[in-house]
Structure 1
Amino acid sequence: MKPMRRSRLKVVLISALVVGLVATGTVVALRFIKPHDTPASNQSSQNPAPTVNQTALLCTEKLSDDVLLGQKLMIAVYSAQLNNEQPLIAQYQLGGVILMDETDESAIASLSAGMAIKPTIATDQEGGTVQRFTSEGRLPGAQDVASSMTASQAYSLYLTDSKYLRDLGLTTNFAPVVDVISRTPQALPGRMYSASPNSVSSYAGQYILAQKDAGLHPVIKHFPGLGSATGNTDDGPATTDPLSALKTRDLLPYQALSSLDPDVMISNAIVPELTDGQPAVWSPDAVKLLRSYGYENAVVYSDSLTAKAIPGTLQDAALKAWQAGVDVAMIVQTKDQTPEVASYVSQIITQAKTALENNTLERSSVVESVARILARKAIDPCTIGDR
């Protein structure tokens, strides 16, 4: 059935203070101050990222290769095809799904039915041109938010929508976009807040806080930044400015926002001086750079490996992403491709198991990755048992 509409929450006052600015106005540190914090919001906004202890690693190590690899995969789910996809999710113990259109609460709950390890239930709810759930009304796109709203207004707007998603049963949102506009035409029109790293950090910080206060986990994107990209990687290969330029602009929001404990999506763009001519999602150096900015315990997601910027087969694409250190490989198939998704998953896992056997994919790195994923889900691997 269709979810009931909810009245908008009362405006919650919030302010963002950017501190430690150098003469050029770049962000050195960012603090978010909410004058009327509740205990719940204090807890969600200030808790550090979940860490993985030795006991959790030992218990994760006991999981079968099939379960480990399944946890490192996420597929798209369309409401009209959900009943056909649920058995696949359970069969392979997939780590997550991304909902591509409006889905009701009971259908969302069915995605976890019979699963020993509950999947991450995610969506793309940026606002503007990328909004999967619209029954509560349309969210403005990031650029419109930054040009027409105060930080407190943005927080209130995002909090209401995030609570709605959480009440439906979602756990994760691939938002906000923290790319910094630096090229015209934009690769992602309307989806980026600003050309100012300070402004991006401020408004993105409000969205992160709102989601965490609602009980939803945010995933910021697209590391290390698509603001200078020559195009949208969904449509074909794209290249950004060199890393030396990104460090003065695009990477500043990642530095500013790491203390708020979001997870991160890594892009499919080529980054000169960093990725050696390959998409960032396949670059160990890109993943290491991200981790060095305070994201040691964050779950790192690929952008969709079905994007036209990614050459070759899906099984090769997923394996290369895992070899680079990406935690979760995301397969966003079209509706028309959904009948083939079982074959995609089978081929990915089969090839990855071969890579584990010949040590071209290190099992220890897979175990550490899955332990991070389970920690984010607040699942104790020692309670799962041998599977």
Structure 2
Amino acid sequence: MCAGLAACAPEETPAPETEVVTVTSTEGQPGQGFVDKQAAPQVLSPAQQRVPEDLRARVASLMVVGVSNYDQARFALDQGAGGLIIPSWADPKLLTEPGRNINALREQYDRPFSVSIDFEGGRVQRHTGVFGEFMSPRALAGTPPEVIRGTGWDIGRALREHGVNVDYAPLLDLDVTNLDIVGDRSFNGDPAEVVRVASLFSQGLIDANITPTFKHFPGHGRASGDTHLQLAVTPPLHEMRELDMRPYGPLLSKYPRASVMMGHMIVPGLGPDGVPSSMNPEAYRILREGDYPGGVPFNGVVVTDDLSGMRGILDYAPTRDAVARAIGSGADQALWSSGKDLPAIIDHIVWCVHNGYIPEERVTEAATRVQQMLIDDSL
């Protein structure tokens, strides 16, 4: 269902009127002039120019779906999906088979698209037979700076060679309560140390032309459990602001072209009670405005955590509804690793727009950010 989306979607801030000021010398009075104000014609940014005019195509460009093989990838791209994710169960041939791999798809389609993967090192590194194996983030944090940055580069170079351009790493969650799902995936429990290591690792990815993704906002390190298994609750919002969100400001200030993954945690005091962050407009507002200690405004892409492969979120809402609620609340990309029901979900979001549950401006805003990310990727 889309019920309530229109009411809870972030308000759009009208762009300020733009004027063109022309200074022209008056005859007989060199060096003096008059100001002629006139309304400027609307000038679209390169990203805005690439946003599809067709609403269904615009909606489709916000979808990031899991694909297991070449034929599934073609189907998703034919539906207009703006992104693919390579899950652990994908056939490695999708990365390696000449003519039927990701690089071949990039040649076969005349539009850019993102291809992402979870590759942190350690416990979370997909298809190591193709990309290689790397130490855990915790172990990496104990190595010299050049090794940290070099590992980011080595991972990024392997990903880029096989057509992947977005890494859902590094993880910024703080390991302060020995939560197993975090553990050695975390660089440290100290926000300053997380910033130091994540910065070096991210720079390595960027050196290899890979977009890093900071996760999981607003912070999973002190959650009550694993959202893969059940919905998890964090400490209250004021405590999350003071500790868990702190790594994001310095890193987003340094790497504004990175993306951010919004987690599914429930944060007491954050917007409506009991609503996961990924479907909570207040979580997106805080991230966008940098409304936390050391925060900075962020206008890059925000992608959801998996909306199909995590029991906690499926118990809260089926994938179709979760996608609608996430986009209506402020997500730019809705991610679901199963890739199931893509055409029907696109149609459902279009229906939500036509019936006033999701403002069309929200879709256009998200699509513009996605296109800007793809432009940045090509630079």
Same fold, judged at TM 0.5 (above): yes
> 1-side partners of 2:224 and 2:297: how far apart?
27
Superposition deviation, residue 91 in structure 1: 2.1
Q: What is the match of residue 54 of structure 1?
A: 44
Give percent identity, aligned residues only. 25
**Aligned residue identity for 2:312:** A
Partner of 2:286, secondary structure, is: helix
Aligned length: 316
Superposition deviation, residue 56 in structure 1: 4.6
Superposition deviation, residue 116 in structure 1: 3.6
Q: What is the match of residue 220 of structure 2?
A: 226
Superposition deviation, residue 156 in structure 1: 1.4
> 2-side partners of 1:328 and 1:92: how far apart?
15
Q: What is the match of residue 235 of structure 2?
A: 241
Asked if the contact 1:281–1:303 (Cα under 8 Å) also holds between the matched residues in 2, the reply is yes
The answer for unaligned runs of 5 or more in structure 2 is 1-42, 291-295
Deviations 1:168-211 (A, max 9, x none): 22111000000111213333232111111011111111111111
The answer for unaligned runs of 5 or more in structure 1 is 1-52, 381-387
Q: What is the match of residue 252 of structure 1?
A: 246
Asked if the contact 2:173–2:182 (Cα under 8 Å) also holds between the matched residues in 1, the reply is no
Kindly report which structure 2 residues correspond to 1:74-89, keeping only aligned pairs within 5 A, or say none: 74-78=64-68, 82-89=69-76
User: 2:279 is matched with which residue: 254, 258, 282?
Assistant: 282
User: 1:365 is matched with which residue: 362, 365, 371?
Assistant: 362
Once superposed, what is the RMSD of the aligned Cα atoms? 2.0
Superposition deviation, residue 254 in structure 1: 0.2
User: 1:300 is matched with which residue: 291, 299, 302?
Assistant: 302
Instruction: Work out whether 1:122 is the aligned partner of 2:127.
Output: no
Asked if the contact 1:280–1:286 (Cα under 8 Å) also holds between the matched residues in 2, the reply is yes
Q: Which has the larger displacement, 171-180 or 53-62?
A: 53-62
Kindly report which structure 2 residues correspond to 1:32-111, keeping only aligned pairs within 5 A, or say none: 54-56=44-46, 59=49, 63-78=53-68, 82-101=69-88, 102=92, 103-104=95-96, 106=98, 107-111=101-105
Q: What is the match of residue 181 of structure 1?
A: 175
Max Rg structure: 2
> 1-side partners of 2:210 and 2:45: how far apart?
27
Superposition deviation, residue 292 in structure 1: 1.4
Asked if the contact 2:73–2:84 (Cα under 8 Å) also holds between the matched residues in 1, the reply is no
Q: What is the match of residue 133 of structure 2?
A: 138
> 2-side partners of 1:177 and 1:282: how far apart?
20
Q: What is the match of residue 326 of structure 2?
A: 321
**Aligned residue identity for 1:158:** G
Asked if the contact 2:116–2:166 (Cα under 8 Å) also holds between the matched residues in 1, the reply is yes
Superposition deviation, residue 359 in structure 1: 1.7
- TM-score, normalised relative to structure 1: 0.77
> 2-side partners of 1:55 and 1:190: how far apart?
42
Superposition deviation, residue 360 in structure 1: 1.1
Asked if the contact 2:120–2:170 (Cα under 8 Å) also holds between the matched residues in 1, the reply is yes
> 1-side partners of 2:362 and 2:329: how far apart?
10
Would the alpha carbon gap of residues 216 and 237 (structure 1) be closer, same or farther in structure 2, given more than 3 Å must change? same
Superposition deviation, residue 59 in structure 1: 3.6
> 2-side partners of 1:109 and 1:118: how far apart?
12
Partner of 2:128, secondary structure, is: coil
